[in-house]
Amino acid sequence: MTALLLRDLKLSIRAGGGALIGILFFMTVVAVIPFGVGPDLNLLSRIGPAIVWIGALLAALLGLDRMFQADRDDGSLDLLLMQEHPLVLTVLVKCLAHWLANVLPLVLASPLLGLFMNMSEVAIGAVMLTLLVGSPALTFIGAVGAAVSVTLPRGGLLVSILVLPLCIPVLIFGVSATYAAVEDPAPFLPPFLILTAITMFFAVLGPAGAALALRNAGD
Amino acid sequence: MTDSLAIRKFSDLANPTRFLAIAERVLPWLAGLCCLLFALGLTLAFTTEGDYQQGDTVRIMYVHVPAAWLSMMCYSVMALSALGTLVWRHPLADVSHKAAAPLGAAFTLVALVTGSLWGKPMWGTWWVWDARLTSVFILFLMYLGLIALNRAMDDPSRAARVSAVLILVGFVNIPIIKFSVDWWNTLHQPASVIRMGGPTIDPEFLRPLVVMALAFTLLFFTLHIMAIRNEIWRRRVATQRRMAARLAGRGD
C-alpha cells in the first residue's frame, strides 16, 4: 500500500503537468473573476471566499479523469484488480495519493489567491482550513466519477458533469463555514463540523462506489 | 411457500419474452385506467373552487406537486433497479433504469417549469435559489448526466452496471430534496400532505390532488413499461441486424 502511494505520488510529480497545471488553472480561474465583476476591492473581498472555493473545486476536477485511466492504459489497473488486498483499500490509497499530489498544492496556493482577493487574515485562514478539510471529499466523490468513466476515451468532460452535482453540499458548507468565520454572529463550528462529516461520509462511500464501478467496468 | 412463489414470479420477469407477454396484457388496462383517472382528476381540478388568495393559479398545484413526487419516485425506482442490476444481475433491471432516466428527467422538468410559472404570480419571481428548488434542479442535472453516460458507452450491459453504481451514489440527493424544506427554512413551503399528524391541506384541494397523483403514477408506470418494451425490441433488432450482417459476410 505504501509502495502504491509512493508510486502514484512519484508518477504524478515526475510525469510533468499534474499538480502544476492544476495550480495554474486555479490561479487563472481566480484571476479571470476580477475582469468579469470589476476590480472593486470591497466587492472582491466580500465574494472572495466563494471565488476561491469555486476555483479550487474546478481545479480539483481537472486531473480526475486520469486517476484510473493512466493505470488502465499501461495495464497496471488489471494488476490492481487482481491483487489480494481489498480493492476498496487500494482505491482509498489512490485517492489519498491523488489528493496529496494534485489537491494539496491547491490548498497551499489558496492564501496567495486570498491576498489577491483582498481578503482579511481571518478569511484567508478560514478558506485554507475549510479547503483542507473539505477537498478530500471532492477527491473521493471524483473517484467514483473517474472509475465510472474509466473506459471512455474522452471521459474528462463527462466526469465533471457527473461529479459536480454531488460536490455541491461540500461547496455549500465550505463556503458557509468560511463566511461564518468572518462575520461574527454566525457560529463557525456547526458548518465546519458538517463539512468534516461530509468528508468522512464520502471517504467511505466514494472508494466503495469506485471499487464497485472498477470491477464492473473492466473488460 | 408464498416466498418462493414471489421469487419465482420475480425471476420469471427476467425472461424478456415473458415480460413482453405480461406487458402486452397489462398495458391496455394501465393506459385505460390512467386516462380515466386523468379525466376525473382534470375535471375535479377545474371544477373545485380556487383559493381565496391565490385564485385560479392554485390549479397549477395539481400538476406541479404530482410531477415533483414522481421525479423523486422515478429516481427511487431507478435506484431499486440499480440494486437489481448489481446484486441479482437481473437482466430487465438494466433495461429498467435505462428506460426510467428520460422519464424522470421529463417529470423533473415539468415540476420545475410549472413551479416557475406558479412562482411568478405568487412569489413575484420565476426562480429563487431556494433549497428545494436548487436540489430539484440538481436532480434534473443528475438525470441528464446519467443519460449522457448511458449514451457514451457502446456496450449496453457494461453501461448499465456502471450507471447503476452512479445511480446508487446519487441517491444521497433524494433525502436532501425531501427534507430540504424542513432543514433550511426557505421560501418553498414545507410538506403539507404527507406529514405526521395528517395533511394540513383543505379536503377541497386534497381530493383532486390525490386523484392527479394517482394518475401521474399510473402514467409513469405505463410509460416505463412501454419504454422497457421498446428497449427490448430495439436490442433484438440490433442483434438481428448484427446476425444478418454476419450471415451476409459469410455468403460472399
Are A219 and B170 in contact (CB < 8 Å)?
A: no
Q: In this model, does residue B193 exceed pLDDT 70?
A: no
Are B162 and A209 in contact (CB < 8 Å)?
A: no
CA-based nearest residue in chain B for residue A150: B162
A120: left (phi over 0), alpha (psi -120 to 50) or beta: beta
Closest CA to B69 of B214, B247, B181, B228: B214
Are B148 and A168 in contact (CB < 8 Å)?
A: no
Q: Distance between CA B76 and CA B102 in Å, rounded?
A: 14
Residue B182's pLDDT is: 67
Are B149 and A168 in contact (CB < 8 Å)?
A: no
Reported as a single tens digit per residue, the pLDDT across A23-70 is 888 888 888 888 888 777 788 888 888 888 888 888 888 878 777 877
Three-class HEC string of A163-191:
HHHHHHHHHHHHHHHHHHHHCCCCCCHHH
Are A165 and B142 in contact (CB < 8 Å)?
A: yes
Q: In this model, does residue B95 exceed pLDDT 60?
A: yes
B178 vs B34 pLDDT, higher one: B34
Which of these ranges, B98-112, B151-165, B221-235, has the smallest mean pLDDT? B151-165
Are A216 and B161 in contact (CB < 8 Å)?
A: yes
Residue B6's pLDDT is: 62
Residue B58 DSSP symbol: G
A197 vs B18 pLDDT, higher one: A197
Stretch B67-78: mean pLDDT: 90
Residue B78's pLDDT is: 92
Are B172 and A205 in contact (CB < 8 Å)?
A: yes
Domain with A70 in it: 2-217
Cβ contacts of A169 on chain B, cutoff 8 Å: 176
CA–centroid distance for B198 within its chain: 25
Strand partners for B55: B51
Measured between CB atoms, which of B153, B165, B176 is closest to A209? B165
B14 vs A92 pLDDT, higher one: A92
B220 vs A217 pLDDT, higher one: B220
Mind telling me how many Å the CA of B129 is from chain A's nearest CA? 12
Residue B105's pLDDT is: 93
Structure confidence at residue B76 as a pLDDT band (50, 70, 90): very high
Cβ contacts of B172 on chain A, cutoff 8 Å: 166, 205
Structure confidence at residue B209 as a pLDDT band (50, 70, 90): confident
Which of these ranges, A181-190, B129-138, B205-214, has the smallest mean pLDDT? A181-190
Q: In this model, does residue B7 exceed pLDDT 70?
A: no
Q: In this model, does residue A188 exceed pLDDT 90?
A: no
Where do runs of H (alpha helix) occur along chain B? Answer: 2-12, 16-47, 61-83, 91-123, 131-152, 156-170, 173-183, 203-251
Cβ contacts of A50 on chain B, cutoff 8 Å: none
C-alpha cell at position A120? 482579511
Structure confidence at residue B1 as a pLDDT band (50, 70, 90): very low
Reported as a single tens digit per residue, the pLDDT across A60-80 is 888 787 778 777 878 777 887
Q: Distance between CA B214 and CA B236 in Å, rounded?
A: 33
Listed as own residue / partner, the contacts of A186-192 with beta carbons closer than 8 Å and 24 or more positions apart are A188/A126, A192/A129, A192/A130, A192/A133
In percent, the amount of chain A with pLDDT more than 70 equals 94
Q: In this model, does residue B2 exceed pLDDT 60?
A: no
CA-based nearest residue in chain A for residue B148: A158
Domain-wise residue ranges, chain B: 57-191+199-251
B98 vs B129 pLDDT, higher one: B98
* Domains of chain A: total: 1
Measured between CB atoms, which of A145, A155, A216 is closest to B158? A216
Does the pTM exceed 0.80? no
Residue B103's pLDDT is: 93
Stretch B183-206: mean pLDDT: 65
Q: Which of B94, B157, B162 to mutate: most A Cβ within 10 Å?
A: B162
ipTM value: 0.70
Which of these ranges, A153-162, A169-178, B231-240, has the smallest mean pLDDT? A153-162
Residues in A lying within 8 Å of B, measured between beta carbons: 141, 144-145, 147-149, 151-152, 155, 158, 161-162, 164-166, 168-169, 205, 209, 212-213, 216-217, 219
In percent, the amount of chain B with pLDDT more than 70 equals 83
Residue B223's pLDDT is: 92
Structure confidence at residue B109 as a pLDDT band (50, 70, 90): very high
Measured between CB atoms, which of B149, B164, B172 is closest to A162? B149
Reported as a single tens digit per residue, the pLDDT across A196-218 is 998 998 899 889 888 888 887 76
Q: In this model, does residue B157 exceed pLDDT 60?
A: yes
Cβ contacts of B152 on chain A, cutoff 8 Å: 149, 152, 155, 158
Q: How far is CA A66 from CA A204, A214, A218, B64, B242, in A?
A: 21, 14, 16, 42, 34
CA-based nearest residue in chain B for residue A201: B172
